[in-house]
Amino acid sequence: MSINAIETQDTSRSPFGLIARGSLGGAVAGYAAKHMLPLSESEMDSEFKGAMAIIREQSNKAKASAIETIRSIKDKSLAQDTFIKMVDAQKAASAAVEPNRNNIKAMRKIIKDANLKQGDMIELKGIIASVNERAVDMFRRCAKGFKSAVKDKRVTPAYVAGGAVLGFFVGLGQSVFRATSRNA
């Protein structure tokens, strides 16, 4: 059995591999950051705000369309009729600029006067939820698509290069730490 007094360097663990993996991982993380980071104030300029206003307007039109669909039903159920009365009362309240407390009281009075049974009340809640969800869902999907388009306009090489540089320094730090821990 022979003993070597001089330590040989392990060439299978090259520091360049750590640095290369760190740089590659950083570049991938930089590309992901391009799409994951929230929009900055400069990206939410007047054009962005105008597009959001158009999306909001279109979602309100979708909500109005759903309401008109219910309004056009000839033989409405008690819940549907109550819903239309509530919508009309809300329009009147917003036109008169009444405080919200009076508006809530008016809605409660409409529901009380309708004398809804439990099944009708469940149907009314379902109608309100579906009409609101239609508008909210449309706004959410369109806004998400527009935000994604704004993020796609970001300069990809800047994010990839920034991530690669950060990954390079992480790999270099790991390499130095590994080398010093072996020699200690």
Query: Worst-scoring range by mean pLDDT, 11-20, 80-89, 97-106?
Result: 97-106
Q: What is the CA radius of gyration of the chain?
A: 31
Query: Worst-scoring range by mean pLDDT, 3-12, 19-28, 40-49, 157-166?
Result: 3-12
Tens of pLDDT along 143-169? 999 999 999 988 989 999 999 999 999
* Model confidence, pTM: 0.66
Pair of tokens at residue 80: 């549907």
User: Any idea what DSSP says for residue 2?
Assistant: -
Query: How large is the average pLDDT for residues 22-37?
Result: 91
User: pLDDT at position 140, please?
Assistant: 93
DSSP 88-145: HHHHHHHHHT--HHHHHHHHHHHHHHHT--HHHHHHHHHHHHHHHHHHHHHHHHHHHH
Q: How far apart are CA 128 and CA 144, in angstroms?
A: 24
User: pLDDT at position 1, please?
Assistant: 59
